[in-house]
């Protein structure tokens, strides 16, 4: 079993829809949870970050972490064509006084149709 599982999609939604993207993980030591957005032929850019459990909201984006279920989600409200990209979840643990390396999901390709 991979440490981080993410459905690669593709996922196609109409403009204005609510999008739900998810990842599951197996390593209970993970404490830092991130979502990166990657546009075609570009590098990933950090979109959302959550430490431990809970929710975080930033504009149209909400990140949720459920450590008991080892499940993280990213919700996009009022989706726009400009949200069309690949979304990568990433997570890491805390080891010996420093943050460990990131483990990435495979990414979910999202297309928002006008």
Partner 1 sequence: NAGVTQTPKFRVLKTGQSMTLLCAQDMNHEYMYWYRQDPGMGLRLIHYSVGEGTTAKGEVPDGYNVSRLKKQNFLLGLESAAPSQTSVYFCASASPRDRSLKGNQPQHFGDGTRLSIL
Residue 90 burial (CB count, 10 A): 23
- Residue 32 interacts with partner 1 (CB under 8 A)? yes
Of the pair 19, 36, the CB lying nearest partner 1 is at 36
Q: Which of 12, 16, 18, 51 binds partner 1 (CB under 8 A)?
A: 51
In the complex, minimum distance from the CB of residue 78 to partner 1, in angstroms, rounded to a whole number? 22
Task: Establish if 11 lies at the interface with partner 1 (CB under 8 A).
Answer: no
């Amino acid at each position: 079993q991979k440490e981080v599982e993410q459905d690669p999609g593709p996922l196609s939604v109409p403009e204005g829809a609510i999008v739900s993207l998810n990842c599951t993980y197996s390593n209970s030591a993970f404490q830092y949870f991130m979502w990166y957005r990657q546009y075609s032929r570009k590098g990933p850019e950090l979109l959302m970050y959550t430490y431990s459990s809970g929710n975080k909201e930033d504009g149209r984006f909400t990140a949720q972490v459920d450590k008991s279920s080892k499940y993280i989600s990213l919700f996009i409200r009022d989706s726009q064509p400009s949200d069309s990209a690949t979304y990568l979840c990433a997570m890491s643990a805390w080891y010996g006084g420093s943050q460990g390396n990131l483990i990435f999901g495979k990414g979910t390709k999202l297309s928002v149709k006008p």
